Amino acid sequence: MSGTDISPQDVAGWDTYWTTQRRGGLYGAIARFYRNQIIRPALNRFVRTTFVGNGAPLLHVGCGSGQVDVDVRTTRDVIGFDISAAALGLYRQSAGRDAKAVRGSATALPLAERSIAGIYSLGLLEHFEEPEIRTILREFRRVLAEDGKVLLLWPPRWGPTVMVLDTTHFIVNRVLRIPMKLHPDEVSLLRSRAHLDRLIAGTGFAIEQFYFGPRDAFTHVICVLSRAKNVLARS
């Protein structure tokens, strides 16, 4: 994805993924358990410690079905944002008729400058190439309040879920020769803190926290970014 365009292929891939999640099946059931029992408690904790106060709304970029932030929405004003109409349909079912849900590309957020108190995303940036990641981060900085922060849950290359899914894809596709794709490609799995440092260079952010541990069963690196002082993002 690049610029303000939403690739039809990307939209189709994510609509297919979330339509499959709606229908259920074994993978859908495992994914729902994972979101509700592992990721949701971890997100609750890091949202609580990262975003203080109750000012402007939080933006959940790549909100998907909304299963992971059910608790967050009870205490904070949240805007769900996703490229997929199918995902936003599930999000509205979860969040209710009055849910704030916006469709678009993360590379060109349709929001005013400094209008958002905080931004969080889970399993989003690994689906973008590195130049697009930098574009997204600059957009995050543009819409973020002066003292706002960004909370990223980013799967690392060495994470157990990545290894399990990669092994499953290999066995089913290469050994059994059954075409299967459980989720869109993860082209930018996080490799290290130094890798994150390189990715945020020139975006106007600094790393405030970098965590990998048991709170989410070692499935993500949890990163908190804040505005780098006296630094302007390069366009």
* Contact partners, residue 235, CB within 8 Å, separation at least 6: 138
Backbone φ, ψ for residue 46 (5° rounding)? -75, -30
3-state secondary structure of 181: coil
Given a contact cutoff of 8 angstroms between Cβ atoms, the answer to whether 189 and 161 are in contact is no
Q: What CA–CA distance (Å, rounded) separates 41 from 103?
A: 26
- Read off the pLDDT of residues 174-197 as tens digits, 9 standing for 90 and up: 555 665 555 578 899 999 999 999
pLDDT 10s digits, 38-61: 889 999 999 999 998 766 799 999
pLDDT of residue 56: 77
Each of the 235 residues of the chain gets a pLDDT tens digit; together they read 333 455 666 788 888 878 876 655 655 666 677 778 888 999 999 999 999 876 679 999 999 999 899 999 998 999 999 999 999 999 999 888 778 999 999 999 999 999 999 999 998 999 999 999 999 999 999 999 999 999 999 998 875 565 444 444 335 455 556 655 555 788 999 999 999 999 999 999 999 999 999 888 888 899 999 998 765 666 5
Contact 221, 156 (CB under 8 A): yes
Q: What is the DSSP string of 75-123?
A: HS-EEEEES-HHHHHHHHHHH-TT-EEEES-TTS--S-TT-EEEEEEES
Please tell me the predicted confidence (pLDDT) of residue 181. Answer: 56
Q: Report d(CA 227, CA 144) in Å as an integer.
A: 9
Domains and their CATH numbers in the chain: 8-157+187-227 (3.40.50.150)
Sign of the alpha-carbon dihedral angle for 44, 48, 54, 56: negative
Q: Which two tokens stand for residue 107?
A: 């590379």
From CA 228, how far away is CA 207, in angstroms rounded?
Answer: 9
